[in-house]
Amino acid sequence: MRILIKKILKHCWEILFISIVVCGGFTALAQTEFLSTEPVSTPILAIDAGVLPTSPFYFLDKFDEWVQKNIFTFGINSFRAQVFMQSSAEKISELQFLNAQGMLTDKIAQKLLKAWENDLAFSASLVGEEYLHGRRPINLTDEIFRTMLASADAIQLEFNGKAIGGDDALVLSDNFLDEAEKKIIASLLPENAGIPEGVLKLVSDNMVFDVRQMLKKSIISTDDESGIAISVVGGQLLRNSVVENQKIAQAYYDNGDYRNAIGSYSDCRLALRLMTNRNLAIEPMAFTDMGELEIRLDQAMMLLTNSGLINADELALERTRILGTYRNI
């Protein structure tokens, strides 16, 4: 009798635990908040940061996240993609909140950004698998792509080329965002998946809208708060790159080649991010030593070289022009 009671109690606890877990999982899915389905018009992500990495209870949040990702999605790609997409958006909200409160450390930022990239890329790959199996998750594709655009814009707004992570620094350069975006797009829209033309056009339209929004914000003031003129290294060359890539992208778009149009618009986004990158801003009167200016210029040139948007000869002429200008100040 005593053994039977123990067994009953044991099973009662198991049933209670499973009920709580299952109900919690369905509630989590039902209450999931995603980014607005309206065109991306702001880099602010519409999602609550929740428990923060600085909280002693963050490990419980991570456990809950693991359970939602691996148990309550029941192996269904569309469910899993939504949960991983939400998780990536939460990472950006955590970054924004901690940065605003002055509580963001290099270590936390590096972990959150890696988690953002991995979660969103995995979410995209799950949707890509759906296309490979002949299914068409169009709305989910749209949501993931919008999430990527808004996330990247938010990261750029928060950090703008800052390097974090100490010796193991994850440099939040524009190239980091460019590489992350290309990885996510490649996962979301596999080349051999037979993506419907309408889906590629939808993604391309979102890219066009976001590029136009970035263009409105890309004008850098000619003066900083102290009234000292600021020059953007390679500024005109970057503007030329934006114009050229826009023309190329538009030609692809008009011919119905939306996949290549997406690629050219990605190059526009990279150039526009570089045009507002503080690491490329030079204060002419701040340099009394030519050697110091040359070091700063070489760093800026390296950033531009790595972008792949401007050829080496043009950059060499830009360097010579800037040094010649400052010699005459």
**Whole-number pLDDT of residue 120:** 94
Dihedrals φ, ψ of 21, to 5°? -65, -45
pLDDT digits (tens, 9 = 90+) for 250-282: 999 999 999 999 999 999 998 888 887 777 777
**Whole-number pLDDT of residue 186:** 92
Q: Give the mean pLDDT of the chain.
A: 76
pLDDT digits (tens, 9 = 90+) for 182-218: 999 999 999 888 888 889 998 999 888 888 888 877 6
Model-level pTM?
A: 0.74
Kind and range of the H or E run holding 69: helix 58-70
- Closest by CA to 143, choosing from 212, 217, 88, is 88
| pLDDT average, residue stretch 147-154 | 88
Q: Do the beta carbons of residue 302 and residue 234 sit within 8 Å? A: no
DSSP string, 169-232: -EE--HHHHHHHHHHHHHHHS-TTS---HHHHHHHHHHHHHHHHHHHHH----SB-TT--B-EE
Looking at residue 165, its amino acid is G
pLDDT digits (tens, 9 = 90+) for 306-315: 888 888 899 8
281 bridge partner residues: 232
**Whole-number pLDDT of residue 231:** 63
| pLDDT average, residue stretch 225-234 | 53
| pLDDT average, residue stretch 103-110 | 84
Dihedrals φ, ψ of 328, to 5°? -95, 0
What share of the chain in percent tops pLDDT 70? 73
* Rounded Cα gap, residues 277 and 265, in angstroms: 18
Task: Name 40's Cβ contacts closer than 8 Å, sequence gap at least 6.
Answer: 146, 149, 150, 153, 206, 209, 210, 213
**Whole-number pLDDT of residue 168:** 44
**Whole-number pLDDT of residue 173:** 58
List C-alpha distances in Å: 325 to 231, 274, 276, 322, 328: 11, 22, 22, 5, 5
Q: How many CB atoms lie within 10 A of CB 125?
A: 18
223 bridge partner residues: 229
Sign of CA dihedral 117, 123, 127, 128: positive
Compute CA 264 distance to the chain's CA centroid, rounded to the nearest angstrom.
Answer: 17
Q: What angle do CA 214, 43, 244 make, to 5 degrees?
A: 20
- Where does the pLDDT of residue 284 fall: very low under 50, low under 70, confident under 90, or very high at 90 and above? low
- Where does the pLDDT of residue 16 fall: very low under 50, low under 70, confident under 90, or very high at 90 and above? very low
Q: Choose the weakest-confidence range: 62-66, 194-198, 234-238.
A: 62-66
Q: List alpha helices for 255-311, DSSP H.
A: 258-275, 290-307
